[in-house]
Every structure is written in structure tokens, then in C-alpha cells.
Amino acid sequence: MTFSEKFQKTTDVKHWLGDMEVDHFLYTAGIAGEAFFVALRDKGVILGTRCELCGITYVPPRIYCEHCFAELNEYTDVGLRGRVRSFTIARLGKDGNELKKPEIFAVIDFGSGTTGLLHKLGEVTPETVKVGLDVEAVLKPKSQRGGHITDIEYFRPVG
């Protein structure tokens, strides 16, 4: 099941006949997640939702504010440019072996008062990455986007 498929009957989620597969859990992206991935795939934009009461813009979007529980139902394009809030450098792969080239992962803010989007950095080295670095999203061509977070290939430094 992908983010675009929806349950039509409640029994589809409450009943499980036969053996339950425990190695293939599938999760839906939820209402806000679906909006986020569809917009990324179809329009090449990054969406958030803003709580006017708290002054927080959630990226990726949430349908409720985590601070005041207000319902958030207006999506906003936060742009493709952001700023590195924090980062980490991975030098080992999933198998525990050293990577040929370190990977850099960062939390990226999209203006003040936004929550951060976790993603990979590119076109930057462990020696040149820094907190506060201005970055922009590098998207896959539209024909190759499938509604996944990897539709954003990475974020690269601006300028």
C-alpha cells in the first residue's frame, strides 16, 4: 500500500485472516503526509502547515499543532531553500563498514519558526559543512518523482 491508497472498509484494518506478516508492515503517510508527497511529486514544492496561534510552521506538515492542538488545515509552500540547523556525518554504512565517501545528514529549517526537515546534504564536504549553511533542494526530474522523500535527491549549498 502506498500513500495514495485508502482503506474503503474498516474491516480492512481491523481483521486479519490467517497468519500475520510481521516483516512487511506498511504505514500510510496520513492526511498531511499525503498532501506533502503529492505536492512534492506533482509540483516539486515542499509543503508545511502553520499554526498562527503559536507562530510555528510544521515541515513536513501536521494536521494538528503539537503545542496548542489547533487544527491545521491550510498548507503553505515553504520554498526549496532552507538553512542547516544541525547535522551529523555518517562514516559507516548499514553493514558497519566504512563508507567510501562520508554522508552528511542535516535538519533543515525553512525560515524562522519552522520545524526541521531531516534530509541528506550533497555538494558539500565534512570540512565545509556548518550550522547556518544556506541550502536548496535538488529535486529529481518530474518524470522520475514517485511521491517519496527521495524525490528530493539532497540539499546543496546556495551561492
- Which of 1, 53 has the CB closer to Zn ion? 53
CB of 149 to Zn ion, least distance (A): 25
Cell numbers representing residue 50 in the block = 502553520
3-state SS, residue 149:
helix
Cell numbers representing residue 14 in the block = 481491523
CB of 69 to Zn ion, least distance (A): 7
Binding site residues, Zn ion, CB under 5 A: 51, 53-54, 65, 67-68, 70
- Which of 68, 118 has the CB closer to Zn ion? 68
What backbone torsions phi and psi does residue 81 show, to the nearest 5 degrees?
-105, 140
Q: Give 96's contacts (C-beta < 8 A, 6+ positions apart).
A: none
- Which of 61, 147 has the CB closer to Zn ion? 61
CB of 111 to Zn ion, least distance (A): 17
- Which of 12, 66 has the CB closer to Zn ion? 66
CB of 44 to Zn ion, least distance (A): 28
* Calculated CA dihedral for residues 64, 87, 136, 150, nearest 10 degrees: -70
Distance CA 148, CA 37 (A): 6
